[in-house]
Structure 1
Amino acid sequence: MSDNERPFWQTTPLSEMSTEQWESLCDGCGKCCLHKLRDEETDAIYFTNVACRLLDLTSCQCSGYETRFRKVPDCVSLTPDILTDIDWLPPSCAYILIRDGQDLPEWHPLRSGSAESVHEAGISGRGRILSEREAGLFEDHLVDWPAEIPAGVARKRKKRQNHKRGR
């Protein structure tokens, strides 16, 4: 198969993707919008099932995407440059998969042609998350499922260099 016949995520480096291509990699799972806690002593990350107040709990999409940085100042803008430093994205995240030389799983909307496929496959947070406005203490809402490697995601990670962390 020639490069012209292969999908863009297999032929275009993350750093060279158009804004439209980059944005389309998001599968709409909502996991990146979950609050995570970091252990100060061990640096371990713990997921919660508590979502940012802007996350629509049904669609798992940001309800204020265009103005999110104004409404949530600590919202992170994912870029190819910061992907080398991020250690809190779920293993099913397309940005991480592509960064690590993997392909998109069959349930990813770019492969399936449907935004619902991520929900139908049980990958998203739909039905498992609550808003930070209702949660109380985040420590009371620790969960493992966002960090699990779902079916269709390669378990072997490609080694990468991370100069800032010395990994």
Structure 2
Amino acid sequence: MDDPIDRDGLRPQFWERGLSDLNPKEWEALCDGCGKCCLNKLEDEDTREVVFTRIACRLFDDQTCRCSNYDARLTFVPECVVLTPQSLPKAAYFMPDTCAYRRLHEGRDLPHWHPLLTGDPMSPHKAGASMMDETLSETVVHEDDWEDHLIEEPTGGA
């Protein structure tokens, strides 16, 4: 699998800088391609506890763990969370625990299997931290049945 994110020309260990100091290319390169941000989640209104389902966004490609229409995703999925340095503080709790954006925002390191550390875009999948071949499309599961598809977040030992 070719790396879908162009990592050429990135500053060495740019992720050690503050998130607000990253340029757009570096920001995009933080994505590990696990696909967990594309899962539909359920949130307890009282506790704000977030649980994962294996139900993925209609644009999620289960074979590549990427959005099938990333550039135009908001046209088709207006509720898609767009992470920016400005939106991250409010959205971080809703992101996967292994998410580089969340981890760096919380002062934690990248997971050991992150492609920026391994040089291998397949490392999240090899580590068992991704949703590759593990999802059902939201187009085939009624929202009332999402609770039947709760899962633990795969972390790959992060």
Answer yes or no: is 1:64 the counterpart of 2:72. Answer: no
Q: Distance in 2 between matches of 1:119 and 1:109?
A: 10
What displacement does 1:82 show? 1.8
Larger Rg: 1
Answer yes or no: is 1:130 the counterpart of 2:136. Answer: yes
What displacement does 1:34 show? 0.4
Amino acid paired to 1:30? G
Structure 1 segments (4+ residues) deviating >6 Å: none
Question: Which residue does 1:78 correspond to in 2?
Answer: 83
SS of residue paired to 1:145: coil
Answer yes or no: is 1:16 the counterpart of 2:21. Answer: yes
What displacement does 1:6 show? 5.2
After superposition, the C-alpha distances for 1:116-165 in whole angstroms (9 at most, x for unaligned) are 1110000001122111112232122111225xx542x3xxxxxxxxxxxx
SS of residue paired to 2:140: helix
Equivalent positions of 1:21-100 (< 5 A) are 21-86=26-91, 87-100=93-106
Question: Which residue does 2:122 correspond to in 1?
Answer: 116
Answer yes or no: is 1:106 the counterpart of 2:112. Answer: yes
SS of residue paired to 2:131: coil
Q: Distance in 1 between matches of 2:15 and 2:46?
A: 37
After superposition, the C-alpha distances for 1:56-79 in whole angstroms (9 at most, x for unaligned) are 001110010000000111111101
Q: Distance in 2 between matches of 1:44 and 1:9?
A: 28
Question: Which residue does 1:157 correspond to in 2?
Answer: none
Gaps of 5+ in 2: 1-10
Instruction: Report how many aligned residue pairs link the two structures.
Output: 145
RMSD across aligned C-alpha pairs, in angstroms? 1.6
Q: Distance in 2 between matches of 1:19 and 1:8?
A: 12
SS of residue paired to 2:148: helix
What displacement does 1:105 show? 2.2
2:41 and 2:52 in contact (8 A); partners too: yes
2:124 and 2:156 in contact (8 A); partners too: no
2:96 and 2:153 in contact (8 A); partners too: no
Q: Distance in 2 between matches of 1:100 and 1:41?
A: 23
Pick one of 149, 153, 157 that aligns with 1:145: 153
TM-score with structure 1 setting the length:
0.80
